[in-house]
Each structure stands twice: as C-alpha cells, then as structure tokens.
Amino acid sequence: MAGTLQILTSPVTGISTTHRFNPSHLIFSTNHSFIITNNNNISNSLLPRNPPSLTRTIFIRNSTTSHQGNGGLNEPGNRIGRSKFSVSAGPLLNFVSSNFLPLALIGGVALGLANPSLGCLAHSYHVSKVSTFGIFIISGLTLRSDEIGAAAEAWPVGLFGIASILLFTPFFSRLILQLHLQPQEFVTGLALFCCMPTTLSSGVALTRLAGGNSALALAMTVISSLLGILVVPFSISKLIAGGVGTSVPADQLFKSLIVTLLIPLILGKVLRESFKGVTNFADNNRKLLSNLNSLLLSLVPWIQVSRSRSLLLAVKPAVFLVAVAMGALLHLILLGFNALSIQILRAASGGSKSVFAKKENATALLFVASQKTLPVLVAVVDQLGGTFGESGLLVLPCVAAHLNQIIMDSFFVSFWNKKEQPDSNAKVA
C-alpha cells in the first residue's frame, strides 16, 4: 500500500470512496506506513468521521522494517549524530595537518621516554643515518633548478651564514661559561654545543617547510659542516679549553657527510632531472613529501631520548629543567643575533633591494645559522675522553637543547605558515 491512494469504506454510508489528497500536504519520506498528523492515530482501514482531516499533512516513509525496528540506523537523529562527529573531527584534523612537524617531534620524544628499548634498537641499526639519507633524497627530488640559481645569487647571505655558524655564534660559549650550575658538566656541555656546526638535516627541512631558499640552506649546511671539521677543534681550544688541545675525527666526519648529505642529495636531483614522472610526482605531492620529511626528522629525537633516558631519570628534575631552559634560552639568543644581523646587513646593502631583504634568503639564514648539531658534538666528546668531565653529563643538556631548537622552530614555521594562508587566499580570490 506504499505510494498509492487507498480506497476506504465509510462506516456510515458503507460506500467505498477514493479520496484525493492535496499534493501540497504530502511529504515523501522512507516508510511504508501512513502517519497522519492528527492527535488520534487512525488505522489504515478506518475512515475518520471528519473526512477533511485526510487533507492534513501525511508522511509517507519507505522503511521496510518500520514495525520491527532496525536499531535506529535510518533515524534522522543518528544521521545528525554522525554528521556532528564529522564536524567535530574537522578542526582536529586541520590542527594536526597544520602542526604536523612539531606534533611528530613531540611524539618522538614521548615515545622515547615511554619505551626506550625500541629507540635503542633503531640506533643499533643506524636508523638515524637512514632517516638523514631519506631527508636529503627528498630534498634532491624537490630541488628545482631555479632554486639553485637563487642560491648562487644569494652568495653574500650564504657567506655570512657560514661565518655566523663557525665564527660568530661560538663566542656565546663564553657567556654560557659564566653560569653556575651543578653538575658543572651541564654548563660545559652547552658551551661546547655553541661551537658546533649547524644541524645536518633539520635546518634544511624547516627551511623548506617555511617556504625558504632550501638550496641556499643546503649550501650553508654542507659547506659549514665540511669547514667545521677544521674550525671546531680551534674554537674549543681557544674559547673553552683555555689552551687544552682537542682533536676531531676528521676522516670519519668527512665520510659521514659525504654519504649522508651529498650522495642522497645528488641522487634525488638526478632522479628528478632524468624522469619526467618523478618530477611531476614531486611537484604535485609536495605536501606528502613534506610530511614524510617531518616523520623522518622525528626519528632523531626519538632515538636520542631513548638512548639518554637512563641519564634523564638519574638527574634531579629541577636541575634538568634548568638545563632545558638554558638550552631554550641559548637558541633564542642565536635567533635574535641572526635576526638582528639580517636587519643590519639589509640596511647596509641596499634596503629592500638587498639579497638579505628577500624573505626566502632570510628564512634560510635564520634557521640554518641558529641551530647546532648534536651528532658532531657526540663525536667530539668521545674524542675528548673525559677532559671536561663525565661524557654522559656533557651530552645530556645538549640533547635537550637539540630537541628544543627543532621543536621551537617547528612551531615558528607552523605559525608563519598559518599567518600567510589568509594572504595567499586573498591573492587567489
């Protein structure tokens, strides 16, 4: 009887009558049974004494299980509930997408603290080197030829960046040595950290995520890392050791830089230039590759925290928090120094027409020149053989400082990208 007009027999006259309903009063839903919007329910075989009541609103539904019930799967309330869930999940997904890098880094730290055995196992299989290799493969895949040209044009920025990394920022170690904290190794470790070259991968990854000149960031990273093999022993000897000679495993570091930085970078670039499909994939999936870069980068703090967890738990929480705050303050000082230097050099070299005025160049310089690398510090401390104190205590505050700088800069990148989204949307409109 669904969808048809029913012939009803009047109990008064006994005459079968076909009643026509005003279509404007019909609402088609999904149920077989008639539901007449009257206060009294009427069966489908009983004609009311007041025939005009049939012209009231009638709902025709199309549910085959209206009487048995179906668990409410077709009820409007449940559909609304599911849509509310989808709406509420939307902002969360947007937040995760906008802050993928800092969330990945914090997740790596939390995982290392919760289950260090897995991170130590990953270290035994050199996963951190594999992740760095992957980061530079992706950098090569996404490196456009015009970016290389832009890096060549910005050579004054790169030159200052290298000088800042190897010559200027190490002098902040003198400022750190004036602090008093027990154990003293925490202070000495952060002073050593100041003398290190820039990070091998995170500076480049963050520059790319922020829309900076990634080719310039790569050039500063590679050149400063290679020159750092020669400069770091001199900086430690003159600024920290007071004449105590130190040595850096130059051969080992040089080979490591070649294998983990230059070879994957060149390989990725060759793949991009040799295959049109690879080029199109890299250009059309930059967001995907960016998130993959973030995941690879998060493996570094995960492994470092896993390896240092026992030391972290052995130190008094108050002392360790002071060391963490010192590392964060050190990074803010380096950021402030390089940001101020950019403004001074911009004003001194042509104002808005200067290469220092281009946002892409300034972003690369700010991130790369303000970060310090942990792997080189670990190698140096191993070579020192206890000259400056317990090796584990020297490295521990530097692990925190290394994580601080990456997490802090990742939040800066997320903030800048959010700030620029309305401008880019306005341009598109």
pLDDT score of 257: 67
What is the distance between the alpha carbons of residues 282 and 59, in angstroms, rounded to a whole number?
Answer: 55
What is the distance between the alpha carbons of residues 208 and 204, in angstroms, rounded to a whole number?
Answer: 6
pLDDT score of 167: 92
Q: Which residues pair with 26 in a beta bridge?
A: 58
73 part of a folded domain: no
This prediction's pTM: 0.62
Shortest CA distance to 203 belongs to which of 225, 181, 235? 225
State the total domains in the chain: 2
User: Are residues 273 and 401 part of one domain?
Assistant: yes
Q: Is the separation of the CB atoms in 268 and 201 below 8 Å?
A: no
pLDDT score of 214: 85
User: Are residues 132 and 37 part of one domain?
Assistant: no
User: Are residues 56 and 109 part of one domain?
Assistant: no
Q: What is the CATH number of the domain that holds 334?
A: 1.20.1530.20
User: Are residues 208 and 164 part of one domain?
Assistant: yes
What is the distance between the alpha carbons of residues 35 and 49, in angstroms, rounded to a whole number?
Answer: 17
User: Are residues 335 and 280 part of one domain?
Assistant: yes
Shortest CA distance to 403 belongs to which of 314, 299, 316, 310? 299
Q: Is the separation of the CB atoms in 246 and 237 below 8 Å?
A: yes
103 part of a folded domain: yes
What is the distance between the alpha carbons of residues 67 and 65, in angstroms, rounded to a whole number?
Answer: 6
User: Are residues 136 and 42 part of one domain?
Assistant: no
Q: For residue 33, what are the domain limits?
A: 7-60
User: Are residues 102 and 46 part of one domain?
Assistant: no
Q: How far apart are the first and last CA of the chain?
A: 54
Looking up tokens 């090796």, which residue turns up? Answer: 391
The continuous run of DSSP H or E covering 356 comes out as none
69 part of a folded domain: no
Q: What is 261-291 written as a DSSP string?
A: IIHHHHHHHHHHHH-HHHHHHHHHTHHHHHH
User: Per-residue pLDDT for the chain (429 aa), expressed as one digit of tens each?
Assistant: 444 444 444 444 444 444 444 444 444 444 444 444 444 444 444 444 445 444 444 444 444 444 444 444 455 555 555 555 455 677 777 777 767 777 887 788 788 888 889 988 988 888 877 887 888 788 788 877 777 777 788 899 999 999 999 999 999 988 888 887 777 888 888 999 999 989 877 888 888 888 888 889 988 988 888 788 778 888 887 888 764 455 555 566 667 767 777 788 889 889 999 999 999 999 899 888 878 877 887 787 788 778 878 877 777 788 878 888 888 999 999 999 999 999 999 998 888 888 888 888 999 999 999 999 877 787 777 666 667 777 777 877 887 888 788 888 888 887 777 776 655 444 434
Shortest CA distance to 298 belongs to which of 95, 128, 143? 128
377 part of a folded domain: yes
254 part of a folded domain: yes
72 part of a folded domain: no
User: Are residues 56 and 108 part of one domain?
Assistant: no
25 part of a folded domain: yes
User: Are residues 212 and 267 part of one domain?
Assistant: yes
User: Are residues 298 and 193 part of one domain?
Assistant: yes
425 part of a folded domain: no
pLDDT score of 81: 52
pLDDT score of 337: 94
User: Are residues 317 and 198 part of one domain?
Assistant: yes
User: Are residues 385 and 264 part of one domain?
Assistant: yes
**Contacts with 205 (C-beta within 8 Å, 6 or more apart), sequence order:** 135, 139, 293, 294, 297
What is the longest distance spanned by two Cα atoms in the chain? 121
pLDDT score of 168: 93
Structure tokens at 210: 């922020």
Q: Is 3 left (phi over 0), alpha (psi -120 to 50) or beta?
A: left
**Contacts with 391 (C-beta within 8 Å, 6 or more apart), sequence order:** 381, 382, 384
Shortest CA distance to 54 belongs to which of 87, 103, 21? 21
What is the distance between the alpha carbons of residues 231 and 234, in angstroms, rounded to a whole number?
Answer: 5
